[in-house]
Structure formats: structure tokens, C-alpha cells
Amino acid sequence: MESMSYPIINEIVVKSDAELSAAQAHGMATGMLCINEQTQSDTWLAEFFLHGAEVDNNDLATLEDLFEITQSQLTSDDFDFDLLLPSDDEALLSEQVEALSYWCQGFLMGISFAHDSSEWSKEATEILKDIVEFTKLDTEAEGEEDESDFMEISEYIRSAVLLLRSEINTIDERPKTQG
């Protein structure tokens, strides 16, 4: 993710005792933005730091930047949206898998804040079911096969999020019928 690194965001999260991981926080922001691309960073930050400590202005600005970058990437036609996860230089594969699982939890929290999924297509509902399953990933991952699986799941989630965002916004733009 351009100009945002997992260690920087994670340090802010740990320091603030927000009860979330950096991956969960980014997942939550992404879920909230998928539902409503007009969501403001202060809405996300209020949920993010519900039980956390005060955050200094520099850290707050960094988190707001993360939110704005995420918002920009989600609405871009360049498909450059990416998940905020530790890189293989920064973490063991098992830690990356755990972060991916946390990201999915955060995404589901973000989605749940703002939307009734009863109007969603079968495909969108299946995507959400998949993401729920990804919250249960086995973190005992190692070796090339597990690394390949991790990359495949990450790419699936990245693509699925963009598809879901597109579909949700299409549903929300449909004219409402009056009875």
C-alpha cells in the first residue's frame, strides 16, 4: 500500500491500545467504505478507538492518510486497492496469515456497521460467506504451498472487495419504487 506500511500503522494501534490490530483497522475502514464511499475518517476513527487511549496528532494524521488512501484506491479505476498486511520481509508467513484473518474480521465489522445485506445478490452473499470462512484460517502456515495459498486468498479478497463495493453502490443507486 503506497506510503503506508504495516509496521507504522501497527505501532500506532499498539501504542493507542485500540483493541484491534492494524489489519483489523484497515479491514474495518475498507468495509465501511465499501458500504458508503462517502464515509468520513472520523466515523472510522470513532469505532477504531472506541476503547482505546488518546492518539497524538501525528498518529491521527497518519491514520487519516491511511483512510484517505484506502478511499482513493477503492474508487480508482486503476484497481490498485491492496490489503494492509505485513510483508514477508516484516513477518513470518504464519503472522501474515493471522493478519489476513484479522483483516477479514475487521472488514466484516465495517460492513456490519452500515448495511442491510438482504438486497444483495447471491454472488455478493457468497463473497461475504467466503470472507467469514477466511476469519478461521489456520495460522500454522509454512512452506511454499501455504505461501501460495496465502497469496491466492489475498488476491481473491482484494478482487472480491472491489466487486462487492461496485455491486453495493449499484444497489444503492437503483431508483426506489413507491408502493
Percent pLDDT > 90 in the chain is 50
Instruction: Spell out the residues 6+ positions from residue 55 whose beta carbon is closer than 8 angstroms to its own.
Output: 12, 16, 49, 63
- pLDDT band at residue 170 under the 50/70/90 scheme: low
Choose between 168 and 8: higher pLDDT.
8
Asked, for residue 179, whether it belongs to a domain, the answer is no
- Domain holding 108, by residue range, is 6-173
Say whether pLDDT at 173 is over 80.
Answer: no
**CATH number for the domain harbouring residue 57:** 1.20.120.740
Residues 61-89 have a mean pLDDT of 91
How many domains does the chain divide into? 1
pTM: 0.88
Asked, for residue 178, whether it belongs to a domain, the answer is no
Residues 24-36 have a mean pLDDT of 93
- pLDDT band at residue 99 under the 50/70/90 scheme: very high
Asked, for residue 67, whether it belongs to a domain, the answer is yes
Residues 110-116 have a mean pLDDT of 76
Q: Which of 1, 6, 2, 9 lies closest to 62, judged by CA?
A: 9
Asked, for residue 43, whether it belongs to a domain, the answer is yes
**What integer pLDDT is reported at residue 153 of this predicted model?**
95
Asked, for residue 1, whether it belongs to a domain, the answer is no
- Residue 4, number of CB atoms within 10 A of its CB: 18
**What integer pLDDT is reported at residue 179 of this predicted model?**
40
